[in-house]
Structure 1
Amino acid sequence: MRSLLLFLALFSFTVSLGYSQNQISGKVTSQDGQPLIGVTVIVTKSKKGAVTNTEGYYSISNLPNGEIKLVANYLGYLAAEKTLILANNSQTVDFILQESNELLQEVVIASEREVGYVATTQTAATFGPRRMLDLPQSVSVITQEVLLDQQVRALGDLVRNDPSVIVSNPPGFNETLNMRGYNLDNSSSYRRENLIFQNQVVSPFENKAAVEIVKGPAAIRYGFTPPGGIINYVLKRPTKTPLVFIQGFGDSNGTVGVHGDFGGKVNQNFGYRINTVISEEASYVKGVSGPRQLFSALFEWTPTEKLTIDFEGEYQYRELEQQATLRLNSFSRDLSIEQQKQLIKDFDPRTFIGQKWGTYPTRNFVSSIGTTYKINADWKVQGRIQKMNLIRDQKAAGIVNRSLQANGDFVSEIFFDPAQVRDPLSIEAFITGKVKTFGLEHNLSIGGAYSNNPLKFSQGNAQFIAGPSNIFNPVELPFPEAKAGQSVEALVFTQKAAFVTDFIKVSEKLELLAAVRFTEQQNRDVFNDSGTLQESYRDNIFSPNFGIIYKPLENLSVYSSYATGVTNGLQIPSDAANFGTDIFLDPVETAQFEVGFKADLFKRVLLTGAYFDIDQPLAFLDQNNVFGYGGSQRHRGVETTFSGQVTDNFKVIVGGLYLNAVIDNPSQPNLDGQRPASVPELQGNIYADYAFDFVKGLSVNAGVFYTGDRFADNFGTFNVDGFTRLDLGSRYEFNLFGKNLTARLNVRNVTNIRFIEGLAFGSFLYGAPTTAIFSLAANF
């Protein structure tokens, strides 16, 4: 609270200072004099920018005195630069853009991800960038401007902007997501530059330009993944001119830190982007806090006009205590469901029921090398290889199964596994280009992929009793005599694949998609009689995709698609009768039908709508306590999104989801017809940002996030109430001593409601109480 008061005092002081009256405005047109809508105009050496309106006009206020360089970027046109001198005045700067032979310029794609609330292109659902309107699939892109304005520090902070995503966020641990009602897989559903990111560590966002959310089966690009979709982190790229961005940040929980972002070019052919963070993190749970350090660097080299090579690395260390969580199997069998619900209601989520020795230190290093070679104007070859090394020492204090009593008493245990290693290697290479045959234009992608993902952890029993405690009056317990077994390579997932995709342009209005991926998957583990690493699964599968895109108007497309996929088998519960000699079920095939539309309104707002129907075999515990497949889990839903800059002053992100998720298993009457666990029927989000004219540089924002009722089990017996969370915030951009500064204040959960946010893996994960997040940033 002391840090919050200090920030508010600083905020009030800076607002009272005078600010520069410098303003740049102008119009952007094509060579034939037509206004261009949606052009991104950026002030270099800063993160300030604007997007042209329906008449091609833009305006950027509150700029420092001195030399200013403007860059105008627009899809299908060459970037244009202009330099001018500001001295407490307003100037008009117009641009006339020339058309480019290349439809998609990488510089346009990179810049639009850092300015604005909507991106018109994506890279995660296809091989190489492709316009949203030319894609028969639902994809969301959360840009860096949204990350900054909402002060995103964790994955759960940003995915609330998409109505199809549910987050579960255990304090001190990594987050897990559910998309379109299906849980994502930590080993395959999270991607970084489209390659494997093992989601057992909290990903940093300071070095990310955007986050792409691909919804539905993604087997064509990623192979064995759950049918809900994937998350892809897009890295920041070198800036064309020098960038120095320094931000101090904190929150009312006690978090404090500093972030530096540096970009530019050493010479015409070599650029860099470096991000550093030093912070002390604190959770809303009292006593859960610890250090975090980040260093990342990306270098881009263009030795020739045709060849581009980038190489990068990212290191992060993070250590916090891990909060023990209430789970379905925590409660004593003597408690009724009403008694269990009362305990959940009465428990104060700010109370730390773990142990101070129960920390979760993670050291994560990931590095990659990528290359692009342009053969000619139509064809290019791309490839990337990435290696990740995650080391985590888990000393998690938890609740012994069935030990939680009506008065809050429970038995505390420790899960002790101090030498876990996640070491995935992933490679992807493909050639893209276009060719005409029989009057049809084929936009082809042909390539292959390889990944090897070993998981190393202790073999043998790693759970030890720590002693008695109480969720209302926790007891500090000594560290038990816990010794881990030998750390071995216990699980290895290896995948080899080849793929072909073809976007067939029949006419200016009609385009077809035909794609197929051949994937060979091999799983090896030590969960066998010999206790040695042996093959437990091997198969090869063809996954076809088909789609139709029809564009009755240039800015409107309607589409339908059929996608197949394959998902790795679920982990068998430790209390199941068949746990031990097996740890995972075999992979299964999935399928989705989707029909939808996308409209690019004024080149600044993207409106989308989709109906989807996903089917996946159901995994469940039968009457013999055997975990296996039977019946299906079918999710049919309608989702819509509306995001972008509605006016020069007003930006929004709006979304809604209706999801009819049903278990179909006639052989199990207690399951048949039920809604799957943790899946709401309704979910929605509204986030709006408004910039005032009468106070230059001042903006206010508000967010409303709704999640409907859910069940904690698959039997429809344990209902969990829905919730509506209200957020408020403000942003003030000003000039002080010739420097651009931005102060931000966001208050989440303003009404301080107590709610269950996530239900991943049978846990009751609370949302944070009222929290103020603040920052002060400077551009040099």
Structure 2
Amino acid sequence: MARSSSLLPRAALRLSTLAAGVLLACAAHAQTAPVRFDQAAEPLDRALNEAARRAGVQVFFASDITAGRRAPALRGDYTPREALERLLAGSGLRLQARDERTFTVEIAPSSSNGATALATVTVNASADASAAGLPPNFAGNQVARGGRVGLLGNRDIMETPFNTTAYTAELIQDQQARSVADVLLNDPSVRTARGFGNFQELYVIRGFPVYSDDMMYNGLYGLLPRQYVATEFLERVEVFRGANTFLNGAAPGGSGIGGAVNLLPKRAPNDPLTQITVGVESGGQAFVAADVARRFGPDNRLGVRINAARRDGDTAVDKESRELDMFSIGLDYRGDSFRLSADAGYQYQRFDEPRPSVTPTGAIPSVPDAEDNYAQPWTYSQERGTFGTFRAEFDFSSSVTAWLAAGMRVGREKNVLANPRSTADGVLSGSRFDNAREDIVRTGEVGMRGSTRTGSISHAWAVSASRYSLDSSNAFASGGPLPSNLYNPVELPMPAVASSGDLSSPRTTDRTTASGISIADTLGFMDDSLLLTLGIRSQNLETKAYDNVTGARGASYDKSAISPMVGVVYKLTPQFSAYANYIEGLQKGETAGTSSATPGRVLSPYRSKQGEIGLKYDGGKLGGAVAIFQTARPFGADKDGEFQEAGEQRNRGLEITAYGEPINGLRVLGGVTFLNAEQRKTGDSATEGKRAIGVPSTQLNLGTEWEVPGVPGLSLNARAIHTSSQYASANNAYKIPSWTRYDLGARYLTTLGGQVVTFRARVDNVTNKDYWASTGGYPNSYYLVQGAPRTFVLSATVDF
């Protein structure tokens, strides 16, 4: 890579000798996977450029800084940072990280006697307080080399008998993702939908819903805001594909059969971080975010990271506006034989005149224009949440470690909604619906992991116990009617409502408790080339329902179940691993709706069964996986005059994923999923063998990022998302059409006034496609959610 000293203002190069006038911005799209180097001893500037070219990073520096300095020979396998630090060894310069992707070179500080100061001890801060820290990034920095696999802890992707992906902070920031749903637009196994009657994000993994209530935060359920999570909280978004009750416990909200989503908090890096981001997007919405981190004390053992953000203004949807405030602080401390971490956060979000979901009353209505809004002007959705969590890990010995984690959330929601029903020609009917909700969640986990050997067989064992409790209070009010038209909306006055419960002080309506004990052992044979994981979990689910007006006890159950797991990994070669698993899922039973023949009836917990085989590839710069799976889950419906178990949904599928940087400067991310979601054992000829509501047969995601040759600091990216048609009725009489959406983006890194600045621009839904993005997402429902219109986002991030 050619030197780019001309890009740096000469004034910045003439700063005081303390700053040494040196800037080396290593816009690291810096992969952490080792790269093979074979460089002879040569002038330092030439060596830095050659190392940057080999590692696929960009280097900016002034040639007069390196004048007269030589670099040693560099031969072997090193990460980009390791390579650069070896080249700088003995030069009187040091590498300083500005953030995870940008570095500077400074004159190494000297002690009072003129000797070069010793390097500080590297502290591997970790979200889950583990000794090894986060799994490193894969080539290209868009995904990580591994992630959390429940009580098994962090595992490398090649040693895990499941198909997982961990999306990194680099990807989140570069794509300007605002929420978890934006991040998961990159995943071919996931489609986003919406909660029933509200604006809660919902994620459909392998054709089964995962409610945002059932996301995990650092391995614990229910801690983050229930409907929407801002990405400013997050270091990584980990997607686990498949049933996972044994690994994580039963999801308390009643979903999680098709997979799980675990969100990781941010931790202070080894070097100081001060970032300010400002931006605007379509509709005039503006946002600002700050990310500040420092480490303190001997060997930088104590870390503090603070994030704050605010968004306010109209969105790309006509008349819709959004306001968001968030704040979080993350602390971590690394002792000699123990590690501690803690997080506290707050989020407030409000949507005014939000575009609602639409429930068809027969044939599917044609989709309105992408920007159209058919909401009533007085509708809104508001959520406020505060949470805190603590985690500790203690090493009893070099082979035995115990951990403890606990957390709590208090959430409050208020909504005034009017979700319409629509005929095929767009005639709308509906009513006003108000609700108030308050949640208190308490959750915790304790466990121990260790390793030992029995002759030639290695063992990596783990035991854990967890408990989750939810106290939920709700009140409702409704009134109407609200006649309108999907294509020519009529603004109506707010109708009076009849209340069910006290909206200002709602009563407890649900108490849910989930607890369990798990034990697992991973046995390694043939020098750990064959790994067999065996595990079992004893799980208890208890639910108590109460009348929201009188407080009288309603339907309830207290059920226990055993959830087994068997997984095997065989390392065929250093590049290929074959795997297989059998695992069962458990979720609380469905509750009959108000239109049911037996409203309020609660079914016993459901057990699902999953089998999966797959092949994984790790070529160093390109990785991927192929998986074939089958999952069967019972479901409830009205049958023979009562709400009861009425059949099962069996999803069979093929997943193909790919990621990495196969060519320097060109990154890829995406894949395809083929699904066959069939209703079985229904006893009804109208539905037997028919496809399940809201599950497309094909999901394709393809993303690329390209660093433009000859323009240092500039990269372009593109993404295509295709979803095939989805049925909107159990008898398959109606369906929504397939859709394809295209997104484009650009990033430019430069220096202004001596500061590193990253400009980002993005256009989602470039063609302004009109489409129904999803149907259903909640059992026995088939409401439609319209896709977002063309949306521009422009931001600038300054590193101080």
Q: Which range, TM-score by smaller chain?
A: 0.7 to 0.9
1:396 corresponds to: 417
**What is the rounded CA distance, in whole Å, between the counterparts of 1:465 and 1:630 in structure 2?**
34
2:665 corresponds to: 649
Q: Provide Cα deviations, 1:490-530, integer angstroms capped at 9, x if missing partner.
A: 11110121111111111221110001111111111015998
1:436 maps to 2:468: no
1:598 maps to 2:616: yes
1:248 corresponds to: 278
Gaps of 5+ in 1: 1-14, 28-34, 40-49
The residue correspondences of 1:318-397 to structure 2 (distance < 5 A) are 318-323=349-354, 325-328=356-359, 330-331=360-361, 337=363, 341=364, 343-345=365-367, 347-397=368-418
1:489 offset after TM fit, Å? 1.1
SS in 2 for 1:398: coil
1:763 corresponds to: 783
1:58 offset after TM fit, Å? 5.5
Q: Aligned to 1:181, which of 192, 207, 210?
A: 207
* Residues 1:736 and 1:38: Cα distance change in structure 2 (over 3 Å): farther
* Aligned 8 A contact 1:243 1:263 in 2: yes
2:111 corresponds to: none
1:627 offset after TM fit, Å? 3.4
**What is the rounded CA distance, in whole Å, between the counterparts of 1:557 and 1:576 in structure 2?**
49
1:9 corresponds to: none
Q: Aligned to 1:228, which of 255, 258, 265?
A: 258
SS in 1 for 2:691: coil
Q: Provide Cα deviations, 1:8-31, integer angstroms capped at 9, x if missing partner.
A: xxxxxxx9999999657899xxxx
What amino acid sits opposite 1:620 in the alignment? A
1:309 offset after TM fit, Å? 1.4
* Residues 1:672 and 1:467: Cα distance change in structure 2 (over 3 Å): closer
**What is the rounded CA distance, in whole Å, between the counterparts of 1:729 and 1:246 in structure 2?**
20
Q: Aligned to 1:502, which of 513, 521, 526?
A: 521
2:737 corresponds to: 721
1:295 maps to 2:312: no
* Residues 1:407 and 1:713: Cα distance change in structure 2 (over 3 Å): closer
Q: Is 730-739 or 166-175 further displaced after alignment? A: 166-175
1:84 maps to 2:109: no
1:128 maps to 2:153: yes
* Residues 1:294 and 1:26: Cα distance change in structure 2 (over 3 Å): closer
How many residues are matched? 721
The residue correspondences of 1:514-553 to structure 2 (distance < 5 A) are 514-526=534-546, 531-533=551-553, 536-553=556-573
1:600 offset after TM fit, Å? 1.1
* Aligned 8 A contact 1:65 1:85 in 2: no
2:488 corresponds to: 473
**What is the rounded CA distance, in whole Å, between the counterparts of 2:417 and 2:36 in structure 1?**
50
1:512 corresponds to: 532
**What is the rounded CA distance, in whole Å, between the counterparts of 1:78 and 1:619 in structure 2?**
59
Calculate percent identity across the aligned residue pairs: 22
* Residues 1:778 and 1:318: Cα distance change in structure 2 (over 3 Å): same
Q: Aligned to 1:577, which of 578, 591, 597?
A: 597
* Aligned 8 A contact 1:188 1:197 in 2: no
* Residues 1:425 and 1:475: Cα distance change in structure 2 (over 3 Å): same
**What is the rounded CA distance, in whole Å, between the counterparts of 2:755 and 2:304 in structure 1?**
23
SS in 1 for 2:214: coil
1:244 offset after TM fit, Å? 0.4
SS in 1 for 2:152: coil
1:163 maps to 2:163: no
2:624 corresponds to: 607
**What is the rounded CA distance, in whole Å, between the counterparts of 2:461 and 2:184 in structure 1?**
32
The residue correspondences of 1:659-670 to structure 2 (distance < 5 A) are 659-665=675-681, 667-670=683-686
SS in 2 for 1:762: coil
* Residues 1:172 and 1:492: Cα distance change in structure 2 (over 3 Å): closer
SS in 1 for 2:35: coil
What amino acid sits opposite 1:480 in the alignment? P
2:118 corresponds to: none
What amino acid sits opposite 2:525 in the alignment? V
Q: Provide Cα deviations, 1:442-487, integer angstroms capped at 9, x if missing partner.
A: 10111100110122101xx522115433333333333333345131
1:636 corresponds to: 652
* Aligned 8 A contact 2:55 2:664 in 1: no
**What is the rounded CA distance, in whole Å, between the counterparts of 2:625 and 2:734 in structure 1?**
34
* Aligned 8 A contact 2:639 2:646 in 1: no
2:435 corresponds to: 417
* Residues 1:66 and 1:350: Cα distance change in structure 2 (over 3 Å): farther
* Residues 1:370 and 1:158: Cα distance change in structure 2 (over 3 Å): same
1:45 corresponds to: none
SS in 2 for 1:220: helix
* Aligned 8 A contact 1:172 1:283 in 2: no
* Aligned 8 A contact 1:245 1:262 in 2: yes
**What is the rounded CA distance, in whole Å, between the counterparts of 2:410 and 2:375 in structure 1?**
27
What amino acid sits opposite 1:60 in the alignment? Q
TM-score, normalising length from structure 2? 0.83
**What is the rounded CA distance, in whole Å, between the counterparts of 1:632 and 1:406 in structure 2?**
30
1:693 offset after TM fit, Å? 2.3
What amino acid sits opposite 2:248 in the alignment? Y
TM-score, normalising length from structure 1? 0.85
**What is the rounded CA distance, in whole Å, between the counterparts of 2:201 and 2:265 in structure 1?**
20
2:636 corresponds to: 619
1:305 corresponds to: 336
**What is the rounded CA distance, in whole Å, between the counterparts of 2:124 and 2:795 in structure 1?**
42
Q: Aligned to 1:140, which of 165, 180, 205?
A: 165
1:113 offset after TM fit, Å? 8.6
1:138 offset after TM fit, Å? 0.9
1:38 offset after TM fit, Å? 9.0
1:284 maps to 2:316: yes
Q: Provide Cα deviations, 1:53-107, integer angstroms capped at 9, x if missing partner.
A: 9997454323699999xxx9969x99979682699x99999xxxx9999999756
2:99 corresponds to: none
Gaps of 5+ in 2: 1-6, 14-21, 38-47, 67-76, 97-102, 108-120
SS in 2 for 1:147: helix
**What is the rounded CA distance, in whole Å, between the counterparts of 1:51 and 1:107 in structure 2?**
31
SS in 2 for 1:133: helix
SS in 1 for 2:599: coil
What amino acid sits opposite 2:93 in the alignment? L
* Aligned 8 A contact 1:323 1:397 in 2: no
* Aligned 8 A contact 2:646 2:682 in 1: no
* Residues 1:564 and 1:251: Cα distance change in structure 2 (over 3 Å): same
Q: Provide Cα deviations, 1:198-233, integer angstroms capped at 9, x if missing partner.
A: 663210101211100011111012222331011111
**What is the rounded CA distance, in whole Å, between the counterparts of 1:174 and 1:557 in structure 2?**
38
SS in 2 for 1:206: helix
The residue correspondences of 1:187-202 to structure 2 (distance < 5 A) are 187-197=213-223, 200-202=226-228
What amino acid sits opposite 1:434 in the alignment? S
* Aligned 8 A contact 1:596 1:608 in 2: yes
* Aligned 8 A contact 2:321 2:353 in 1: no
1:165 offset after TM fit, Å? 0.7
* Residues 1:78 and 1:427: Cα distance change in structure 2 (over 3 Å): farther
1:262 corresponds to: 292
What amino acid sits opposite 2:240 in the alignment? V
